[in-house]
């Protein structure tokens, strides 16, 4: 992966995280985090992966974010000083849930040894 793509990924992650914090209201007790960004080599699109805690609210939050993707894209386009501007795609981060399950299994194994 080129150095430019890595910088673009970091920029998008930072700016989208700020926008989610400032511009969106989520239900009380819900934490939404941008975990990673993957931008195509031609800068056509950026896949923004988000995780939601608690898991039960995941579908609702993802649905609301995708409804407001045009608004989010416009805000990002005004903030970013780069060309071309990639099209944003919000996706669910599944690796976080998998990591949590692994942690839970490891804790159970640790307790079983004692």
CATH class of the region 3-113: alpha beta
Q: Quote the percentage of the chain above a pLDDT of 70.
A: 96
Dump the DSSP string for 43-68.
Answer: SSEEEEEEEEESGGGHHHHHHHHHHT
Domain ranges of the chain: 3-113
The answer, as to whether pTM is greater than 0.85, is no
Whether the per-residue pLDDT at 114 is higher than 70: the answer is no
What mean pLDDT is reported for the chain? Answer: 89
The string of pLDDT tens digits covering residues 16-68 is 999 999 999 888 889 999 999 999 999 999 999 999 888 888 899 999 999 99
pLDDT score of 53: 84
pLDDT of residue 102: 83
């Amino acid at each position: 992966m080129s150095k430019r793509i890595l910088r673009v990924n970091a920029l998008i992650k930072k700016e989208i995280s700020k926008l989610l914090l400032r511009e969106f209201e989520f239900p009380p007790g819900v934490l939404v985090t941008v975990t990673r960004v993957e931008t195509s080599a031609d800068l056509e699109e950026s896949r923004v992966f988000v995780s939601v805690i608690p898991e039960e609210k995941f579908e609702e939050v993802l649905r609301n974010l995708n409804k407001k993707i045009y608004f989010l894209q416009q805000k990002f386009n005004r903030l970013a000083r780069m060309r071309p501007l990639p099209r944003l795609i919000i996706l669910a981060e599944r690796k976080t849930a998998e990591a949590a399950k692994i942690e839970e299994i490891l804790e159970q194994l640790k307790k079983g040894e004692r």
